[in-house]
Amino acid sequence: MTAKRVWLAIGLAVIASQAGHLLAYQLRFGAAAHQIQSSGAHLYFSGLVRASLGVAAMLILSGVFVVGLARILSGRPIRADSTPPFLRLLAAMFTLQLAWFAGQEVVEALVAGAPVTSAADLLLWGTLGQLPVALVAAAGLQWLLARVEAAITEIRIALASIPSQLFSPGIAIPIWIHAGRAWILRSAAGASLAKRGPPSFVRFSS
């Protein structure tokens, strides 16, 4: 993947890891999950989840807008561009999410002065929480990479053709000019049209 794609995948993995974090706590603590995540070193978590979900929603809406705009400008459906295989994206997203989840848990435990969760527990609950979210995130990332990049290309092509359409020659505006005892009909078309077309004026004697 290109550098832009890599950074997009990392950013989306960090956002998705918060949803996976929430799911892992729901599976592990049940009804007490919300209370645990809203107290002590986890006090920040609910706000972080809301912010992450908001950013994810903005990414999706922005992608839909870009694809829709490209379709309007080009007048044809946007075909998917080449993207990494889904399994590769899934593996990358899951690995990044699991690493972020484990690091977040360790930092929270150190801040609270509590015992650090064992590696086995982090792996187990991290996998249960992050893998389902990684499936959804990888599918969304593949859609964004394919459609949005193709849509941006279509938009660039459409915008590049606008100036030539706006200033294309072919329209001549007749202007009558009184010179001496004669009326002269001049054409207000562009210079390129005047050079290739018929004479630029017609003289009518009085």
| 126: enclosing H helix or E strand | helix 119-143
Residue 194: its pLDDT value, please? Answer: 46
**78: exposed, middle or buried (Cβ count in 10 Å: 0-12, 13-18, 19+):** buried
pLDDT in tens, 101-132: 999 889 888 887 888 889 999 999 999 999 99
The larger pLDDT score, comparing residue 4 to residue 189, is at 4
> Which residue is listed with tokens 């590696």?
119
DSSP characters for 30-76?
A: GGGHHHHTTSGGGTTHHHHHHHHHHHHHHHHHHHHHHHHHHHHHHSS
Residue 25: its pLDDT value, please? Answer: 84
Question: 147: Cβ–Cβ under 8 A, 6 or more apart, which residues?
Answer: 63, 67, 78, 80, 81
Residue 169: its pLDDT value, please? Answer: 52
